[in-house]
Amino acid sequence: MNECVLGQILHDLHLPLHAELWFKMATRLTEGKDEGVKVLFQRTRIQRMYASLCNSLPVDVEFSDFGKCVVAKKPVKEGQELFTEKPLIMGQVLDKANNFRLSCDNCAASLLTAEDYFGGNLKNMDTDLRELVTECWPDIPTVCCDKCQKVRYCSDDCRSQAWVSQHELICPARNEATRKLHQISLDLGYGVAQDGVWKNLWDAHFSPVFLARVWSSIILAAKHMMKESGGKAPTADQWAKARSPFRK
């Protein structure tokens, strides 16, 4: 199959993105029935996504007969840290039983205060117990986005990181569409529908802002790469790199 041969040639030339596209085309032409082509496609994709990330790590990510797996490059000592991983995107949970905004919108550090946890019971506690809670409960630093005053963070650093990585485009103060999504989140999925009736508009357990955050992250990543290269518009390669962390 010519597509598969071209894919292998591009793979050998260390052009994994282009090789992956040809292997994907070959997979479609065989209607997914050729297991060999599917394996080549998955191995090329895994290499493209993880090879550069694993250069300095004692592990590799490979595609085996059992699927994607982490493989040690050398013997691992007991207790040795192999790698750490930060989530690409985090989103608030819509929890009717608890205030879903009780975590930093960038790193998910808890912003839960004693007042949030105990509610009105805090004032009704015995004096000694209330003083103990007040003394032992950690101080919760909180800063808000200085534009919208709606999104909360645990520090100025987290606020700055969030702005650069995704919040710049979806800040409610700058984007009418995401302002509506934030309001739906605040109302735990409820809002006024097009027919003017107050109803449940979002039935998922996570905030609808989560999906906007994914696209915002992709757009801003491409924008930053464009600026670093001195370009006036993101290239196709820069868009592909910006999207790649979110591809299956």
CB 58 within 8 A of CB 74: yes
At residue 96, the pLDDT reads 61
Q: Is 161 helix (H, G, I), strand (E, B) or coil?
A: helix
What residue ranges of the chain have pLDDT lower than 50? none
Q: Are 159 and 153 in contact (CB under 8 A)?
A: yes
Residue 60: both structure tokens together: 């590799």
What pLDDT score does 194 carry? 87
Residue 155 CA to residue 161 CA, distance in Å, equals: 10
Alpha carbon distance 181, 225 (integer Å)? 28
Owner of token pair 């790193």 = 107
117-162 tens-digit pLDDT: 888 888 888 899 988 988 898 888 899 999 999 899 999 999 999 9
- Please report the pLDDT score of residue 32 as a whole number: 67
pLDDT for position 134: 86
Between CA 70 and CA 58 the distance in angstroms is: 10
